[in-house]
Amino acid sequence: MSDFIDNVNIENQLQGQNPFQIMRYALEQFDNIAISFSGAEDVALIDMASRIRPDVPVFCLDTGRLHPETYRFIEQVRKHYGIQIDVVSPDGEAVRALVKEKGLFSFYKDTHKECCGIRKIAPLRKKLLELDAWITGQRKDQSPGTRADIPVIQEDLAFARPGDKLTKFNPVANWSSEQVWSYIRAYEVPYNPLHDQGYISIGCEPCTRPVGPHQHEREGRWWWEEATQKECGLHASNISAPKSNDVLNDGP
């Protein structure tokens, strides 16, 4: 009970902080922590972390189905910040078995859950078993149906080691997309060139498409499925969970 009360108190304190301050808190509290990298928000977080603790570990998931631009983007970020990026791949035999049984595009018929489970969730689970905490670029306004209530700090019950804790930080939870891009422009942060082609939320190539004017960013992901379930499982707690305005005022 005391741990729960402490977490609530910390969450209440951090809710009023900007992402740089939340990032600083996370890196001061945990040595065994890593940033999960895929999108624009995550590179903004890498940029913030580089100003606090340049050697913070970074990892990304290579599903084997990413856009060519995304692979080049990963390499660009690695070189830009002079960091190592742990590129985590799925189990080859599991991928082979799925493709052999159902082909390369089974998700259009069976939903994306099975494919994401093999290509994303399993390798993420294996990676998170090594960590005490991780940092993500989730924002509340990314998906009103599944992310509207995400806190800036939480206990990750979905991926914690048995009998242990895994803390999850979402430093930009309270930022809008506009605030993220204001940061990217202000600090000349690298970004995926697909954003210039109308892509907002970028995942695997077969499951991602550009969005039109006035469409929500998640409409470009798994567009053939129910809008309120657009999570691949990386943030599984979002489905079951009940439903700083300046660029930075305490950072670089």
Angstrom distance (rounded) from CA 67 to CA 195: 12
**pLDDT for position 213:** 77
With a cut of 90, say whether residue 45 has pLDDT above it. Answer: yes
> pLDDT digits over 173-190, tens only?
999 999 999 999 999 999
Angstrom distance (rounded) from CA 205 to CA 67: 5
Q: Just list the catalytic residues.
A: 232
**pLDDT for position 15:** 83
**pLDDT, mean of residues 23-30:** 96
With a cut of 90, say whether residue 18 has pLDDT above it. Answer: yes
Contact between 48 and 81 under an 8 Å Cβ cutoff? The reply is no
Domains and CATH numbers, the chain: 2-240 (3.40.50.620)
With a cut of 70, say whether residue 146 has pLDDT above it. Answer: no
Q: How much is the pTM? A: 0.85
With a cut of 60, say whether residue 84 has pLDDT above it. Answer: yes
Least confident of 120-134, 135-149, 188-202, 225-239: 225-239
Could you tell me where the DSSP H helices lie in the chain?
2-15, 19-29, 40-50, 68-81, 92-102, 107-110, 113-116, 122-128, 177-186, 237-240
